[in-house]
Structure 1
Amino acid sequence: MRRSYENALRLLETRRRKTRPTNPAAPATPQDFATPSGNPTVKGIPSLVGMKEWLQALGHSENDVDNLNIIHITGTKGKGSTCAFTRSFLHTHGLKTGYPKRIGLYTSPDLQCIRERIQIDNQPITENLFTQYFFEVWETLTSPGLEIATGTTRQPRYLQLLALLAFHTFIKENVDAAIFETHHGGEYDATNVIRKPVVTGITSLGMDHVAQLGPTVEDIAWHKSGIFKPGAPAFSVSQETGPGEVLRKRATERNTDLTFVSSSHTLPVNEKVLSAPVQRLNCSLALQLVKRFLQLKDSKYVLDDDDISRGIDGFSWMGRFEVIESGRSRWFLDGAHNTLSLEQAAEWFSKNINAADAPTYRVLIFSHFSEERNGVDLLKCLAYALPKHDAKPDHVIFTTYQEREDGTTRIDKTLKVPETPFPDLCAIYTSLWKEIHPHATVSTEPTIQGAIKLAERISMQQGGMQAFVTGSLHLVGGALNLLRP
């Protein structure tokens, strides 16, 4: 096969499984029953299995991974933003001192293209670099000698392959520091092949991915704290009592110090970046991670007030608490896709729409299709949260993840198709919204482009509007491609 970007994407897509496994991992390991609820939660083959052997097959030792100087971050809400703040502070320090000169960042999912997941120096890696390293990984791990080298005929699944590609890329490109966001959980996550992170961080915890992580927030805390490693300082934002105690216990078991971080009152004023309270908390966590990271690398490294201010000014993270101005239309985009995130996004939207000269007409564009989460529960959360924060929409538009009306899709962005047909699911959403808000005006559009066009027509009729786009990163990514190509 020709080594092209398009062929790399086609091969990567073959490793995506159609559905998540439902059967418990067999045989169950003793650790499976160490979760607070006592129930095994690992389904199928854990994502961590095989990662060490595959890395070795690629020629990367444990020391090679250690030498990436990794900051490992997990949580339920705010992982991506915390990673981005962490990168921004490291970048600012690197500009001043020369360290770190090159910074790798691995996150998921992507909004606009797959290469967003693997970034170096604030930019997604190029198509050429992605293609080169992808085929190096693919050809090694599909070679006839793989079974002899690794003791298994299994090949990496989609997320495992992307994580391996990130490790391979960062090692080959000689980054000085790397920030890794987990996929789901922590204990059995593919990224937990990291043996010696410099520091680890946990963002806000809540109920998400319960099929894989367990039925209680304490179970989720147990899985997330699996990234704790002996001797690597651990930081977490302040948590509720139950999960907080789980984190403390796990830190003790892992022989590491755990520090809980509250929202800092000394951060500089920046209404654009820090207007959402949760972003102040994510920023505060990132700041502590970077301070300790630099201290451990060299005691002379210190972030001063100017570094912190420049780091916040330079922060960017697509699709999270993002505002786009277009004439009399203002678009508020946040890829919230769990109840904790939606509550925070609703509060942020409310805080930012009540300026004296702002349009008063409000539009909500919502879409959510997922095996893992109940879209009805998410919409119900939003239906109550927006009025509570004095941000009830005047017009609601339900749509899909299909971006364009002509049916075209980008080659490096996978279109997620719901199992339930669009008309049926949107009928359910419409019925639910009108049950809660009987006098609401509700529309459905089969594409994101159609939803945006409808909102723009409404804006012209009303002399302006404020649109809130939320419910899924797939929706927000598509909207960003149309609003800001």
Structure 2
Amino acid sequence: MKRSYENALKLLESRRRKARPRTPALASINQDAVTPTDNQALRGVPSLVGMEDWLRKLGYSENDVNGLNIVHIAGTKGKGSTCAFTRSFLRAHGSRTGYPNKVGLYTSPDLQCIRERIQINDEPIPEELFTRYFFEVWERLEAPNLEPSVLPMRQPRYLQLLALLAFHTFIRENVDAAIFETHHGGEYDATNVIRRPIVTAITALGMDHVAQLGPTIENVAWHKSGIFKPGAPAFSVFQEESPAEVLRFRAAERQTTLRFVPMNESLPANNKTLSVPVQRLNCSLALELARAWLQAKAPQHTLDESDIAEGVSNFKWAGRFESIEDGASGWFVDGAHNTLSLEQAARWFVANTNTPLTNQCRILIFSHFSEERDGLALVEALANSLAELQAMPEYVIFTTYEEREDGTTRIDKTLKPPETPFPDLCTIYTSLWRQRDSRASVSSEATIEGAIKLAKRISAERGGAQILVTGSLHLAGGALSILRPQEHGTT
């Protein structure tokens, strides 16, 4: 097969499984406490299995992985933003002092381009580099074992392969620091092959991926804190007491320290980046991670006020609290897809549009289709939040995850949307919103492009509009590929 970017994407896609397996025997877990005896029921998805063998086949030892000087981050909400803030602080310090000079970042999912998942110094790795390193990994793993007595090795699945590619890329590119976001859990996550991180962190916890992580918040906390390692200080935002107790137990079990980080009241004033409390909390956590990393790797270095100000100012995270100015229209894109995140998205939208100088109409574009979450509950939560903030939109447009009206899509779109039962669910959403707000103009569009075109027409007729696009990462990614088609080579 020709070593092309397109072929790399096809081979990667061939490793995607149809559905995530569900953890068995979750009903047997003690609901009062999570103790070591419960771990047998907390089997999770064994994505970690095979990672060490595959890394060895790629020619890497545990020391090679440890040498990446890793910050390992798990949690339910805010993982990506915390990773990006940590990267931004380390980059700011490196720009001033020369160290770290090269910072790698591995996150998921991507919104516009698969290469977003593996970044070096704020940029997705180029197509040429992605292609070269992908085929190096693919061909080494596909190569037969030289010893006949060794049984054939099973091949990694989609996310496992991406994590292996990230390790390979960062080692080959000789990064000074690498920030890794877990995929779903922690204890059994493929990224937990990291044995000696420099520092670990847990962002806000909530009930998500319950089929894999368990039916209680204590189960979730147990899984996420599986990234704690001896000797690597652990940090967490403040949690509710029950999951916090699980985190303390796991820290003691792993022979490490755990510190709960409050919101830092000394952060710079930056309404664009820190206009919602959740981002200030993620930023506060990231600041402590960057400080701990420097203390371990360069004790003579400290983050000064200029590093912090530059880190906040240069922060960027596609599809999360992202605003775009387009003539008289202001677009506010956030991939919120659970009730808490939607409440935060509503507050952010209103904080940035509810000013005396802003007398434009508000438009909401929403889409959510998922077997794991109740879409009606999400619509209800968003409507409640906007109503409480006295910011109900005049126009509401429900749509699907289909991007373009002609059915085409960008070649490197790997965030595969599920089947969308349009128009059934959109019709239900439309009916629900009309019951909540009879004054709003509510409609549905078959594609994201159609929804954006309609919003632009309304904006032109009304002399400008403020448009909130939220409900799903699929929607956020599709919207950005249309609103910013020049970025990352999307078409």
Do they superpose with TM above 0.5? yes
Q: Which residue of 2 aligns with 1:377?
A: 377
Any conservation in 1 of the 2:110–2:414 contact (CA below 8 Å)? no
Whichever residue aligns with residue 298 of structure 1, its letter is A
CA distance in 1, matches of 2:318, 2:156: 28
Q: Which residue of 2 aligns with 1:180?
A: 180
Whichever residue aligns with residue 331 of structure 1, its letter is W
CA distance in 1, matches of 2:59, 2:25: 29
CA distance in 2, matches of 1:178, 1:46: 23
Q: Judging changes above 3 Å, is the alpha-carbon distance between structure 1 residues 147 and 203 closer, same or farther for their aligned structure 2 residues?
A: farther
Q: Judging changes above 3 Å, is the alpha-carbon distance between structure 1 residues 150 and 460 closer, same or farther for their aligned structure 2 residues?
A: farther
Q: Which residue of 2 aligns with 1:458?
A: 458
Distance apart, 1:143 and its partner CA: 2.2
Any conservation in 2 of the 1:228–1:254 contact (CA below 8 Å)? yes
Q: Which residue of 2 aligns with 1:40?
A: 41
Whichever residue aligns with residue 459 of structure 2, its letter is S
Distance apart, 1:122 and its partner CA: 1.0
Give the 3-state SS of the residue equivalent to 2:442 in structure 1. strand
Correspondence 1:344-423 to 2 at 5 A: 344-414=344-414, 416-423=416-423
Q: CA offsets, 1:183-213, max 9 Å, x none?
A: 0011111101100000001111111111111
CA distance in 2, matches of 1:139, 1:63: 23
Give the 3-state SS of the residue equivalent to 1:48 in structure 2. coil
Per the normalisation by structure 2, the TM-score is 0.93
CA distance in 2, matches of 1:314, 1:83: 14
Q: Which residue of 2 aligns with 1:225?
A: 225
Whichever residue aligns with residue 139 of structure 1, its letter is E
Any conservation in 1 of the 2:21–2:212 contact (CA below 8 Å)? no
Q: CA offsets, 1:395-450, max 9 Å, x none?
A: 11111122111111111113634335211121222233233334432111111110
Aligned length: 482
Q: Which residue of 2 aligns with 1:166?
A: 166
CA distance in 2, matches of 1:220, 1:147: 41
Q: Which residue of 2 aligns with 1:126?
A: 126
Q: Judging changes above 3 Å, is the alpha-carbon distance between structure 1 residues 396 and 234 closer, same or farther for their aligned structure 2 residues?
A: same
Q: Which residue of 2 aligns with 1:196?
A: 196
CA distance in 2, matches of 1:305, 1:385: 35
Q: Which residue of 2 aligns with 1:427?
A: 427
CA distance in 1, matches of 2:149, 2:312: 46
Distance apart, 1:40 and its partner CA: 3.0
Any conservation in 1 of the 2:367–2:398 contact (CA below 8 Å)? yes
Q: Which residue of 1 aligns with 2:275?
A: 275
Whichever residue aligns with residue 129 of structure 1, its letter is L
Q: Judging changes above 3 Å, is the alpha-carbon distance between structure 1 residues 423 and 102 closer, same or farther for their aligned structure 2 residues?
A: same
In angstroms, what is the RMSD of aligned CA positions? 2.3
Correspondence 1:26-37 to 2 at 5 A: 34=35
Q: Which residue of 2 aligns with 1:86?
A: 86
Any conservation in 1 of the 2:400–2:447 contact (CA below 8 Å)? yes
Any conservation in 1 of the 2:402–2:446 contact (CA below 8 Å)? yes
Q: Judging changes above 3 Å, is the alpha-carbon distance between structure 1 residues 152 and 213 closer, same or farther for their aligned structure 2 residues?
A: farther
Q: Which residue of 2 aligns with 1:96?
A: 96
Any conservation in 2 of the 1:102–1:176 contact (CA below 8 Å)? yes
Whichever residue aligns with residue 453 of structure 2, its letter is K
CA distance in 1, matches of 2:116, 2:47: 21
Correspondence 1:108-119 to 2 at 5 A: 108-119=108-119
Whichever residue aligns with residue 51 of structure 2, its letter is M
Q: Judging changes above 3 Å, is the alpha-carbon distance between structure 1 residues 346 and 297 closer, same or farther for their aligned structure 2 residues?
A: same
Correspondence 1:300-319 to 2 at 5 A: 300-319=300-319
Distance apart, 1:68 and its partner CA: 0.3
Any conservation in 1 of the 2:187–2:226 contact (CA below 8 Å)? yes
Per the normalisation by structure 1, the TM-score is 0.95
Distance apart, 1:314 and its partner CA: 1.2
Correspondence 1:224-243 to 2 at 5 A: 224-243=224-243
CA distance in 2, matches of 1:35, 1:124: 40
Q: Judging changes above 3 Å, is the alpha-carbon distance between structure 1 residues 102 and 149 closer, same or farther for their aligned structure 2 residues?
A: farther
Any conservation in 1 of the 2:66–2:196 contact (CA below 8 Å)? yes
Q: CA offsets, 1:86-144, max 9 Å, x none?
A: 01111111112211111110000001100000001111011111111111111121223
Distance apart, 1:271 and its partner CA: 1.4
Any conservation in 2 of the 1:54–1:150 contact (CA below 8 Å)? no
CA distance in 1, matches of 2:470, 2:48: 31
Alignment identity in percent?
68
Give the 3-state SS of the residue equivalent to 2:174 in structure 1. coil
CA distance in 2, matches of 1:70, 1:232: 10
Whichever residue aligns with residue 264 of structure 1, its letter is N
Any conservation in 2 of the 1:363–1:465 contact (CA below 8 Å)? yes
Give the 3-state SS of the residue equivalent to 2:263 in structure 1. coil
Q: CA offsets, 1:35-94, max 9 Å, x none?
A: 898893545x51111111111110010000000000001111111111111011111111
Distance apart, 1:359 and its partner CA: 3.1
CA distance in 1, matches of 2:436, 2:357: 30
Any conservation in 1 of the 2:251–2:258 contact (CA below 8 Å)? yes
CA distance in 2, matches of 1:263, 1:3: 48
CA distance in 2, matches of 1:143, 1:459: 57
CA distance in 1, matches of 2:275, 2:467: 18
Any conservation in 2 of the 1:47–1:190 contact (CA below 8 Å)? yes
Whichever residue aligns with residue 266 of structure 2, its letter is T
Any conservation in 1 of the 2:200–2:228 contact (CA below 8 Å)? yes
Q: Which residue of 1 aligns with 2:288?
A: 288
Distance apart, 1:152 and its partner CA: 5.3
Distance apart, 1:21 and its partner CA: 1.7
Unmatched runs of 5 consecutive residues or more in structure 1: none
CA distance in 2, matches of 1:420, 1:306: 47
Q: Which residue of 2 aligns with 1:17?
A: 17
- Say which is worse superposed, 173-182 or 152-161, in terms of deviation: 152-161
